[in-house]
Amino acid sequence: GMHAEHDALVLQALDTARTQVGAAAEEERQAAHAAKVPVTVLTGFLGAGKTTLLNYILRADHGRRYAVIENEVGQIGIDNQLLNSAGMAARTEETVTLLDNGCLCCTVRSDLITAIHQIIDRADALAANELAAAAAHGGGDAAPRRALDAILIETTGMADPGPVCKTFYAEDKLRERTRVDGVLTVVDALHFERQLQRLRSAGAVNESAQQVAFADAVLLNKADAADPAVLEAAEAAIKCINAGCPIVRCSLATRPHDVPLAELLGADSFCLDRVLQDFLSPEPALALPGAPPAKRLRGGTVADFCSPWQASRSRHDTGVATCAFSLEGAPLVLERFLQVMNTIRAENAVDLYRYKGVVCVKEPSGALKRAVFQGVHDLCQFEPRGKWPGAEPPKSQ
């Protein structure tokens, strides 16, 4: 069903990529990408500092227009019932508020997609008004910019940002207007280790570990109040769970302006170009300290490729680990690779938080191509990125 359909889509993607080579098509693709509003999903334990960060974004004079959406999962209707019983009119849902610094915010209980469209429409209208006002004052040469610098979605009552990320691939119009930029997790440096040690029931996963596993970047908050040894231990624990993830130390309560918002919101972590860059950089993501050594495979069968293996067990048995594979010396057969990926996804979708890679695939014609993929649970983006560089031996990681 779904997987056969997915295979067809991937092969179709390869076909369009073959016909669309050329600088013009590439430029068009990049322009379309740049026009989309980047969306960051914000996670973190209660008390970690998410609210402090959001308040700073909505009140400070940082010169950017951000939109904050509070997505209240699993708290449906309670507030409204209380308000009604108190004889007050329930606040209408999904109203977009414009703040003094030009940022927008709204609370969503049910229809996230509609709320996002409303926010972008509102931002477009504001930008059009500003342009008209500037033109009227003879200042019409200001460089055009996106009406909205970024959208932040904070999900309350849910540790797993996967479903929210998937929303952005669910509707064509939303896909044209937005792109998932990454998952940003706020961690409390003072309490993270204790949160990791909370007893897990058999087979359950520690929620703090789960949030870190999904992250494209971690804000390690309360750094000013933490002992250096505590900070280092928290960083080591984060790297055990999510080896390739950048960690930004910060003190949101006292120095929120030190947080590099522009870098974090707009980091393009979900973008396949970025995945490619990370893997091909001189120090690839999986060579970072704290990452388990990549399991190198030479020859062997698909069964070996998928055999479960444990990353070195640390004292934090959180039920979450990073693992890495690298296959050198031979290309992957495209159809077989897709079959394997689909099997892994079908059987382990719930437990597969994030995955990404750059592979050398052999097409039916015998041509070697480079392809990039990244995914969350069973949602996977896979795209070819041109011919395999002739001088390089085939390598997939």
pLDDT, tens only, 351-386:
888 888 889 998 888 889 998 888 888 888 888 888
Amino acid present at 170: A
- Average pLDDT value for the chain: 77
Q: Which CATH architecture has domain 36-268?
A: 3-Layer(aba) Sandwich (3.40)
What is the C-alpha separation between 273 and 296, in angstroms, rounded? 24
Q: What is the pLDDT of residue 223?
A: 94
Q: What pTM value is reported for the model?
A: 0.74
- What is the pLDDT averaged over residues 102-127? 90
Q: What is the pLDDT of residues 197-240, one digit of tens each?
A: 775 555 566 778 888 888 889 999 999 999 999 999 999 989 88
Amino acid present at 274: R
| Residue 56: Cβ within 10 Å count | 17
What is the C-alpha separation between 123 and 94, in angstroms, rounded? 15
Instruction: Name the token pair of 73.
Output: 């999962």
Check pLDDT > 70 for residue 66: yes
Amino acid present at 143: A
**383 touches 374 (CB < 8 A):** no
Q: What is the pLDDT of residues 275-328, one digit of tens each?
A: 777 777 655 544 444 444 555 544 444 334 433 333 334 445 567 777 777 888
| Residue 62: Cβ within 10 Å count | 18
What is the C-alpha separation between 16 and 336, in angstroms, rounded? 20
Between 228 and 81, the higher pLDDT residue: 228
Check pLDDT > 70 for residue 79: no
Q: What is the pLDDT of residues 384-396, one digit of tens each?
A: 888 898 888 888 8
- Burial class of residue 353, CB neighbours in 10 A (0-12, 13-18, 19+): buried
What is the C-alpha separation between 192 and 237, in angstroms, rounded? 9
What is the C-alpha separation between 224 and 79, in angstroms, rounded? 36
Domain ranges of the chain: 36-268, 274-396
Q: Smallest Cα–Cα separation from 334: which of 377, 382, 286, 379?
A: 382
**H helix or E strand, kind and range, residue 84:** helix 78-85
Q: What is the pLDDT of residue 94?
A: 54
Q: Which CATH architecture has domain 274-396?
A: 2-Layer Sandwich (3.30)
Contacts of 99 (CB under 8 A, 6+ apart): 58, 59, 105
